[in-house]
Structure 1
Amino acid sequence: MSVQQRKFAQFQGNPITMYILSNKNGMKAEIIDYGAILVSLYVPDRGGNIADVTLGFDELESYAERSPYFGATVGRVANRIDSGSFTLDGVEYQLAKNENGRHHLHGGNKGFNNVIWRAQPLEEDDFSAVTLNYMSPDGEENYPGNLNVTVTYTLTDENELKIDFDAVADKATPVNLTHHSYFNLAAEHSADILGHEMEIFADSYTPVNDDLIPTGKIAPVAGTALDFTHPHAIGERIGQTQAGYDHNYILGNDEQTYILAARTYEPKSGRVMETYTNQPAIQFYSGNFLDGIKGKSGKTYSSHSAFCLEPQIHPNAVNTPGFPDAILRPGQRYRHNMAYVFSVR
């Protein structure tokens, strides 16, 4: 299996390279070293027709200036931190309030999605991969400690796109990395994802306030519009939510074993996507705020054009007693293993 390379863009005097992973089934993943971003993912349907199933842009400037984290590697801390502040070992840290001027979101003004990573392709008989590394310096976005981060994308002949995160730090620091692709299994240019059937293997979730910050409570999904313990269409009960789905589901994965977290099926194409992770939770987002974003090939994406499934530690864990520990300390190693696995039905 091969890894092709081609120039994607020039950015602030630096060449940006695209790494193209492919397998024997016609699947193809395109990753750039800016933001360690998955630009496109081509997947066969039940008839063998190949289509890109992720939203994105054709040009780098859009990823740098106006992207809602399309295909991004997100960090140091994914999701929201209340008021952009936390206290660690007696020291209070104030981060950027880059969401509505009130809260910290997805790593701040210049998160890992807006830096250039150092890439190394890897080719083997049964998989192709690219490993990307970034050294986040002490004080970047006001986070403490030097953080050495690696993300590896691997495409196998079993139609698995594996995404493995690894990090070490020389000072205690919050770390919660995830992947942020927007999927439409009918194809990225299709109308919406409301007819996709979603199944999330979680009995509970973290309720949020009006700013989407967890209240600290744990609540059952049973009897609510958030219940996807049995598969049903995303659009079936979305009208019972405030603006759509943007919720953190608890997977009951306290031992951080590698588990099946969600399964998504698109009836017309027959594509099935299974999401695996070793993290304790997963964020399901139904693309509520996509309306009016001009994407690939001039396509304008509308609300609910795609969904995201983002494995993670609970949002605002740094400020919430009882939530899983999101602090990485010297001598420890952060490991997050996840995958999107594709088949047809």
Structure 2
Amino acid sequence: MRLEMLNLGATVRSIVVPDREGVMTDVALGFDAVKAYENDQLSVGSTLGRVAGRIRDARCAIESKEYFLAPNDHPHHRNGGAKNPLSKKVWDYTLLDDGSGVIFSVKSHDGEEGYPGNVTVQVSYVLTNHNEILVQYSASKIVDLPSTRQTPQPLMQRKVGGTSRIYCFDPTQAKSSKKFKHMIRISSNKSGIDLNVSSTQSCVRLSTGLELSGIIGKQGKQYRSNSAFVLGCQAFEDACNQVRREDENNKREEKVTRLNKEN
């Protein structure tokens, strides 16, 4: 396996893996030029944030104070905003001494996209000898948004010709544990390529790429609707606006860490 990253948006540009015949295949969408990544509205391969997913009506209450976020999915806020989200920032990076991975870091300042507080975000990507990509996200000096305690269930957003589903699991297990939980497996009968995703997050979003229509990608290839899929591990959608059923978990000035594993 070979992994290629960009420090613009801490972006995965290429993942090359062997198919059943041993032919190396790039399974990640991307672009040939940095300018294309800068203009990309879908944040292909990029690190999303501060919050991945939608926040209803672009507003949320933290410790009884309401914050108004930048609406970029009218009238909602999506994936950290549009003007200066994490996916459009140039991150600092450090290569691991053994060549197995990279650590990215970036600062998100108080008020950016409407979010409160200064936050330092760190993301590491590490390749293992078992064709795994280990991804660790951490953020310091952050207010931890509350999660719901209602019974988890699959949530679905349907669009003509495509699907975006959010599969949620037991938050009492995923929220408090740092142990990986297997979330989803996708395989191709044609290529024999198999993808397994494990995470410490509560949910995983599966989208089938409806919005890809007409985008020109790597080597001049035109991406079409439903020509690829994306898996995104995340917390509950719109968690900050949901009613909490149990204890509150707001935390200040501490480090919050999430882990993902793909193989």
TM-score after normalising by structure 1? 0.69
Query: What is the CA–CA distance in structure 1 between the aligned matches of 2:136 and 2:120, rounded to whole Å?
Result: 14
> CA offsets per residue over residues 227-273 of structure 1, 9 Å max, x none?
xxxxxxxxxxxxxx744221110122522231110101011110101
> Partner of 1:321: helix, strand, or coil?
coil
Contact 1:313 1:326 in 2 (8 A): no
Q: Which of residues 2, 5, 9 in structure 2 aligns to 1:35?
A: 9
Please give the residue correspondences for 1:40-79 in structure 2 after superposition, counting only pairs within 5 Å: 40-79=14-53
CA distance in 1, matches of 2:209, 2:167: 16
Question: Which letter maps to 2:222?
Answer: T
Q: Which amino acid aligns with 2:143?
A: A
Aligned residue number for residue 206 of structure 1: 155
Counterpart amino acid of residue 223 in structure 2: Y
Q: Secondary structure at the match of 2:100?
A: strand
**Residue type at the aligned position of 2:219:** S
TM-aligned CA deviation for residue 321 of structure 1: 1.4
Whole-angstrom CA distance in 2 between matches of 1:315 and 1:80: 6
- SS of 1:73's equivalent in the other structure is coil
Of 131, 134, 137, the match for 1:165: 137
Unmatched 5+ stretches in structure 1: 1-26, 177-202, 213-240
1:44, distance to aligned residue in structure 2 (A): 0.6
Q: Percent identity?
A: 31
Give 1:152's aligned amino acid. S
Structure 2 residue runs of 5 or longer lacking an equivalent are none
Q: Within the alignment, does 1:149 sit opposite 2:149 as a pair?
A: no
SS of corresponding position for 1:113: helix
Check conservation: 1:155, 1:162, Cα contact below 8 A: yes
Structure 2 residue 222 is matched with structure 1 residue 300: yes
Partner residue of 2:185 out of 251, 263, 272: 263
Structure-2 change in CA distance of 1:307 and 1:175 (3 Å): farther
- Does the aligned pair in 1 maintain the 2:144–2:252 contact within 8 Å? no
Among residues 248, 251, 256, which one is paired with 1:334 in the alignment? 256
Taking structure 1 as reference, are residues 326 and 282 closer, same or farther at Cα in structure 2, changes over 3 Å only?
farther
77, 82, 85: which one pairs with 1:104?
Answer: 77
Post-superposition Cα deviations, 1:46-95, rounded to whole Å, max 9, x if no partner, equal 11110110111111111111241111100100010111011112221111
Secondary structure of 2:173's counterpart equals: coil
Evaluate the alpha carbon distance shift between residue 75 and residue 175 of structure 1 in structure 2; reply closer, same or farther with a 3 A threshold.
Answer: farther
* Counterpart contact for 1:247–1:285, Cα < 8 Å: yes
Question: What's 1:321 paired with?
Answer: 243
Q: Is the 8 A contact 1:317 1:325 kept in 2?
A: no
CA distance in structure 2 between the aligned counterparts of 1:96 and 1:46, rounded to whole angstroms: 45
Aligned residues: 254
Q: Deviations over 1:18-56 (max 9, x none)?
A: xxxxxxxxx110011110000011011111110110111
Q: Give 1:117-196 correspondences, 5 Å limit.
A: 117-124=91-98, 128-169=100-141, 172=143, 174=145
CA distances 1:149-172 after superposition (whole Å, capped 9, x unpaired)? 100000111100111101111x53
TM-score (norm 2): 0.90
Query: 2:188 and 2:198 mapped to 1: Cα distance?
Result: 18
**C-alpha contact (below 8 Å) 2:10/2:91 kept by paired residues:** yes
Aligned counterpart in structure 2 of residue 246 of structure 1, from 164, 175, 181: 164
Matched, 1:83 2:41: no
Partner Cα separation in structure 1 for residue 184 and residue 246 of structure 2? 20
Give the drift of 1:136.
1.0
